[in-house]
Amino acid sequence: MPAALKRSFAPVADEGTRVLLLGSLPGEQSLALGQYYGNPRNQFWKLMEAVTGAALEALPYPARLEALLGAGVGLWDVVETASRAGSLDAAIRNHRANSLPALAASLPALRAIAFNGGTSARLGMKALGPDVPWALVPLPSSSPAFTLPFAEKRERWLALSAFLDTGGSLS
């Protein structure tokens, strides 16, 4: 049986977006919920709490998105559609990229494009091309499948706070 065709969500970004954070393609739980980073084991929201200083995990999903936008963070995925069995990036096949250059160019305050994980970085940097005016920030994946200790992920993700003027949470 062929792998099901999966589709990414619409971008969450506005004129105040300073960091565009790109995943690869939502996993099964996220797709089922219709939410970015919907798997409760995914460390994304906890990592973004450290970056923004906002208590995101306690908020309902729509308020999480509002808080991210308020902090200057936008979300999207590198892959628009792909065949994939399960949730692992390694299973992505026949992908079609989202229009990353067009979205990025439409964000007047954009300072950096960050990539949540290696697949996002590899595909996203290729889609954007070599000559972009924004900082490109590859990050360790927030996925529970990526077993780097949380403290190490958090340290690397805190680099985003420099583009947000938040100072990040260092506690």
Active site residues: 42
Contact between 124 and 137 under an 8 Å Cβ cutoff? The reply is no
Contact between 52 and 166 under an 8 Å Cβ cutoff? The reply is yes
Cα(21)–Cα(7) distance, rounded to whole angstroms? 17
- Phi first, then psi: what are they for 37, rounded to 5°? 55, 50
Residues across the chain: 171
Got the DSSP string for 28-95? HHHHHHT-TT--TT--HHHHHHHHH-S--TTS-HHHHHHHHHHHTEEEEESEEEEE-SSS-GGG-EEE
In this structure, the number of other CB atoms found within 10 A of the CB of residue 88 comes to: 13
